[in-house]
Chains A and B, each alone.
Chain A
Amino acid sequence: MSNKASNKELVNQKRRAILGGTAAAITGAAIAPGVFLTETAQARPLDEPVNGKIRWGILVNTNNCNDCNDCVIACQEENGWGIGSTDEQKSRPDQKAQWIRTVKVTNKKTGYTKTLPMFCQHCENPPCVDVCPTGASFKRADGIVLVDKHICIGCRYCMMACPYKARSFIHEKLTDQRSYAPRGIGTVEGCTLCIQRVDNGEDPACVVACSNSLIFGDLNDPDSEISKELARNGGTQIRADLRLNPGIIYQGLNF
């Protein structure tokens, strides 16, 4: 234990050295980016931990969604699953990786139809986290729900618990993963909200591919574009009756 603690201290020392060597420098560094943070909500320095002040979310305007699949392709390219990857060759289509998919919803009585992208809803109270026996499923301070694949045992309980079918399991050995999106056999995976991009101060790949109908931003910040749009036109959460409070909010689902 003491060995581990001393290593941790060593890491901290190195980090302090990077920051400038003195405690005063650390305070100064923390204030300056903090000010920047409130401006763009995306300027967190690489060595600063995420905090709970931010709640990331995506607003999906299904009125502008038109079956194009661009969000799915952008996600596949960014995170290295599906088309063009070394993904599961032997699996059935319903077994394959599926971080994001398009779903067509129809009111059978009126015939009113809408297409919408469905992916991890990054719930405030995620059932996948509740059921995970090892603690691999977790929610980051800024509301992003992830799988720690280092401790995931591949039991797939989270897949059963998720009402949105947002997670998939990797059955086969993979190679040539993206360096920023590790994924491998025997673990469960799902949308990470492009955590590598978000930590980098960028929007998720699907939002970049479809700025027409997707808005990414901080739900806790009343001045963010997403909050302003929600204040103007409102939105609905899918299966809001489950009280999971998803961070993904939809517009135009007035069945």
Chain B
Amino acid sequence: MNILHLLKAFLITGVMLMATAVSAEVPLPEIQTGEGNCVEPTDIMRKDHMNFIYHQRDETMYQGIRTSKYSLKQCVSCHAIKDDQGEYVRANDPKYFCTSCHEYVAVKIDCFECHADTPRSTDKHELRVNE
């Protein structure tokens, strides 16, 4: 085998390796959200959504402030999506608007162990809402 053949072999192997590397990458999440715009621009939400929810959580819990703008309930109420059967997608489904991205970045959230993951589906009582 001459040197040219050897180089060719190396090149082919290299290209093949690169191809495998690309195909092994986790695909970007496809985030589907329901109707309604986010309460802040996307770049701010991407970075700070957890802080907004975190602050609102404590203010609601300890001070009874129940504005809806940064409430988790309001996120769910606009962004929850329905499947082909017209049923709401649940939080454990990878299609759920939080889960799709959180699975991709491997950040486990436990909000929906306690909180409702669909908009007011079982509520017996309608609360005041202000924006």
What is the 8 Å Cβ interface bit string for chain B, positions 81-125, against chain A (1 contact, 0 not)?
000000000100000000000000000000001111001111111
A151 to B73, CA, bound (A): 19
A46-B65, A199-B64 known; A180 vs B125 contact (CB < 8 Å): yes
Q: Is A197 an interface residue (CB 8 A)?
A: yes
A242: chain B residues at CB < 8 Å are: none
Report, as a range, how many residues of chain B touch the other chain.
20 to 34
A11 to B48, CA, bound (A): 11
Q: Is A179 an interface residue (CB 8 A)?
A: yes
B112 to chain A, nearest CB (A): 9
B42: chain A residues at CB < 8 Å are: none
A199 to B124, CA, bound (A): 16
Q: Is A50 an interface residue (CB 8 A)?
A: yes
A36 to chain B, nearest CB (A): 14
A11→B55 contact, CB < 8 A: yes
A140 to B57, CA, bound (A): 14
Known: A146-B61, A184-B114. 4 other contacts (CB 8 A): A49-B64, A77-B124, A150-B61, A197-B125
Closest 7 CB pairs of A and B: A184-B114, A49-B63, A182-B114, A179-B116, A184-B113, A50-B64, A7-B51
| Chain B interface (Cβ < 8 Å from any Cβ of A) | 48, 51-52, 55-57, 59, 61-67, 69-70, 73, 76, 90, 113-116, 119-125, 127-128, 130-131
A78-B125, A80-B122, A196-B125 known; A149 vs B114 contact (CB < 8 Å): yes
B114→A177 contact, CB < 8 A: yes
What is the 8 Å Cβ interface bit string for chain A, positions 1-41, against chain B (1 contact, 0 not)?
00010011011001100100000000000000000000000
Q: Is A47 an interface residue (CB 8 A)?
A: yes
From B61, B121, B127, give the contact of A148 (CB < 8 A).
Answer: B61
A7-B52, A187-B114 known; A178 vs B61 contact (CB < 8 Å): no
Report, as a range, how many residues of chain A touch the other chain.
35 or more
A177→B122 contact, CB < 8 A: yes
| Chain A interface (Cβ < 8 Å from any Cβ of B) | 4, 7-8, 10-11, 14-15, 18, 44, 46-50, 77-78, 80, 138, 140-142, 146, 148-150, 173-180, 182-185, 187, 195-197, 199-201, 205
B65→A48 contact, CB < 8 A: yes
A80 to B61, CA, bound (A): 19
B131: chain A residues at CB < 8 Å are: 18
From A46, A174, A184, A196, give the contact of B67 (CB < 8 A).
Answer: A46
From B61, B67, B73, B90, give the contact of A15 (CB < 8 A).
Answer: B67
B55→A7 contact, CB < 8 A: yes
A149: chain B residues at CB < 8 Å are: 114
A178→B122 contact, CB < 8 A: yes
B67: chain A residues at CB < 8 Å are: 15, 18, 46-47
